[in-house]
Structure 1
Amino acid sequence: MKLLYYNIFICKDGQKTSYPIERLIDFINNGTPLERTTVVEGKTIFLSKHRYPNQGRSAGGRSQDGSEYETSNRSLWLGKFLDDKPFAGEIGSDNLDEILGDVYQPNTCLFVSDSKLLIMEYNFNGPRKLQIENFLTKYLNQNGDSQYTVKLIQIVKPRAMNLVSASDSIKSISITVKNDNFQILNLFPNPGNSEGVLERLFNGPVAVSNQYDVNETTVVLKKGRMRRNMNVDDVTNILLLLDADSPLLVSAKVSFLNPETNDVDTIDLKHDGFYTSNVNCENLTGFEYLANQVTSHYYDEQGSNKNAEFHQYLGEIIHIEVNEIQFGYPTEPTIEDDV
């Protein structure tokens, strides 16, 4: 499970405030299932599960299953209902049954309120940054002349693409794209003289995948056992043309010889330049298990290493009283209106 890291603020007229995010989360958690559901950008977002914020730690100061490490922390599932419904079946059988219920893709989230931090599981089909901002903002009543919004700022790190450019050897490139409405210009918006090469590289495999009703296509360029290496300059130029924020891009993994360590490293350009971490969840998907894993990973393995990240914004944060902001459950648009 890949985790993304954001600083999170409730803003007043665009200015970051000291308002504790757990108060907003608690208000939403206390609503009915319908009150915890709203439509954002035409997508139905639902806060489905959360756990009681009971603080607990082991005698050695490590995290404790079923408990939050800090009293103000909040763990929850925030997800999106999908438009496309997959089929259920069995390996080795021709029997496929359409899933009758609404398909829901949750992101496991840990809000570390005192550090203005959101740690969120990455799911390609789950809600994105802007959808989460808009979802949470819908529960802030807009009273008087001020406007209140929720803002997420993804935590950055140095781009590894710079190391790829300086590498003497690129071992492999694996780019996975969504087939639905695929167009090369949506993935490479400014291809220049490389447009013809990129079309040959992607359009054929995507067409074959669509013929067999496959949802995604992976294109792999790999160095074989021959001594000849990939042309680093040519490959780098193509990678620099890639729009990492494209909704069509699932992943863009590059394995290369790191010039700083002389080791072979693999990066995903989808998240290059942003701080991420990975948790081994052994293919288990239950909410309580994943919530425990995220908390344990951040506090026991990572040493809560991003708690001070929000300090860079201290000069911008204004203090507001907790009674200044009022909450309310969204009434428009309703779920029925969206259907």
Structure 2
Amino acid sequence: MEMERVTFFNMFIVKDGELTTISATELIDEIMLRDDPWMRTILFKSAFYSMPQMVQPDQLHNQRARLFWIGKYLTEKPYSGNLGDDNFIPMDNDPYSPALVYYRPEDKLLMIESKQYAPRRIAIQNFFNSYLCNEIDGHRYEVEIIPQKDEDTLAMVDENASIKKIVLEFQVTGFEREQIFLNDEPNLLGNLIVGNVNLSNRYNVNVAHIEFKKGRFKNPLSFELVRMLRQLNFENTTLLSGKVIVRLAGEFKDKEIDLLTNGFSKGEYQIENNITAFDARAQKMIEYIAAGIPQNVEHYYTEHYTHRIRDIEVPLQYEEHPEPNQRPQNN
């Protein structure tokens, strides 16, 4: 068994900068009902994303909800082989990493499966916005996915903490320096990241790996590294992985901070190791939802949005997307 982790958000249709009660269910259905898989595929920051599968609504306890896959085609083609064997074969097909996504229109809840190479919030938000007409009758519409905030563990790390390890991995293809930093202040860690990625790109390395480790030595890593980490944009789509191992002052166990989901509400459930098919994985998420997601997640919409959301219903309009000239040529 393994633990499947999910992160919680709220997804809104925004009109002229205001959150609205407009449901995104119709938008999801509009995309999924396109017969040609290519018409459910977009190009975003040098990578292709698609929506290939959706659970039939009558299989859900809430038939107004939607449960579907959104996936990312990986630029690096791995090898396939057998454990204990030295023979490996390059993968011929395009490698694909999907995430299960659950949307509930009543409270705009969006639950995204947390996987290293699968799409995250910004990519999924852009995916939906690619299909929504942004200008309708002189008004601007767009999809906005907002994280449900929770404890920010990285903010709890101070100079009294013992920092054991920091690990960062970046996708080299599509890396943009200006998207990595939250501000323009000089940052030695940022300069190191950029230099590492540039070197990797020069020698056709697909993933740049940076690791700081205490090892067997007495002194922990400098707190200054954490200060610099806080200036990085952890939602950048080329950040594939980010971990900090730390022991906070007064505690006896190390904490592992996942920088990609730090400060967001999270959940987890068990799933068998060999389950890979969409239907089987979707059923496990359905069971998790039926058993009851965390109470803070259930009440988040009421506590944070009901007082400032605009109650309107507007027929949405949709784009034919992606453009034909983006379709890759088959070899």
Interval of TM-score (by shorter of Structure 1 and Structure 2): 0.7 to 0.9
Please give the alpha-carbon distance, in whole angstroms, between the structure 2 residues aligned to 1:135 and 1:181: 17
Tell me how large the CA RMSD over aligned residues is: 3.6
Structure 1: tracts of 5 or more residues without a match: 55-66
In structure 1, the residue matched to 2:298 is: 307
Instruction: Give the superposition deviation at 1:238.
Output: 4.2
Q: TM-score scaled to structure 2, two decimals? A: 0.79
Change (3 A) 1:207 1:118: same
Change (3 A) 1:331 1:152: same
In structure 2, the residue matched to 1:274 is: 264
Change (3 A) 1:182 1:75: closer
Please give the alpha-carbon distance, in whole angstroms, between the structure 2 residues aligned to 1:184 and 1:82: 21
Q: Secondary structure at the match of 2:51?
A: strand
Matched, 1:161 2:154: yes
Q: Which amino acid aligns with 1:7?
A: N
Q: TM-score scaled to structure 1, two decimals? A: 0.77
Please give the alpha-carbon distance, in whole angstroms, between the structure 2 residues aligned to 1:195 and 1:108: 33
- Report matched runs for 1:31-110 at 5 Å: 31-34=34-37, 36-41=39-44, 43-54=47-58, 67-91=59-83, 92-99=85-92, 101-110=93-102
In structure 1, the residue matched to 2:320 is: 331
Q: Secondary structure at the match of 2:263?
A: coil
> Cα deviations across residues 175-227 of structure 1 (Å, max 9, x unaligned)?
3333558799976786858469x74x996899699869563525240342x5x
CA contact (8 A) 1:39 1:335 kept: no
Please give the alpha-carbon distance, in whole angstroms, between the structure 2 residues aligned to 1:10 and 1:254: 35
CA contact (8 A) 1:29 1:36 kept: no
Q: Which has the larger radius of gyration?
A: 1
Deviates more, 1:149-158 or 1:180-189: 180-189
In structure 2, the residue matched to 1:22 is: 25
Deviates more, 1:201-210 or 1:153-162: 201-210
In structure 1, the residue matched to 2:167 is: 174
Matched, 1:289 2:280: yes
Instruction: Give the superposition deviation at 1:117.
Output: 0.8
CA contact (8 A) 1:45 1:78 kept: yes
Count of aligned pairs between the two proteins: 319
Change (3 A) 1:95 1:157: closer
- Report matched runs for 1:205-244 at 5 Å: 215-224=207-216, 228-244=218-234
Change (3 A) 1:172 1:17: same
Structure 2: tracts of 5 or more residues without a match: none
Instruction: Give the superposition deviation at 1:109.
Output: 0.5
In structure 2, the residue matched to 1:136 is: 128
Instruction: Give the superposition deviation at 1:139.
Output: 3.6
Q: 1:12 aligns with which of 11, 15, 24?
A: 15
> Cα deviations across residues 68-95 of structure 1 (Å, max 9, x unaligned)?
2322221100123334433333442334
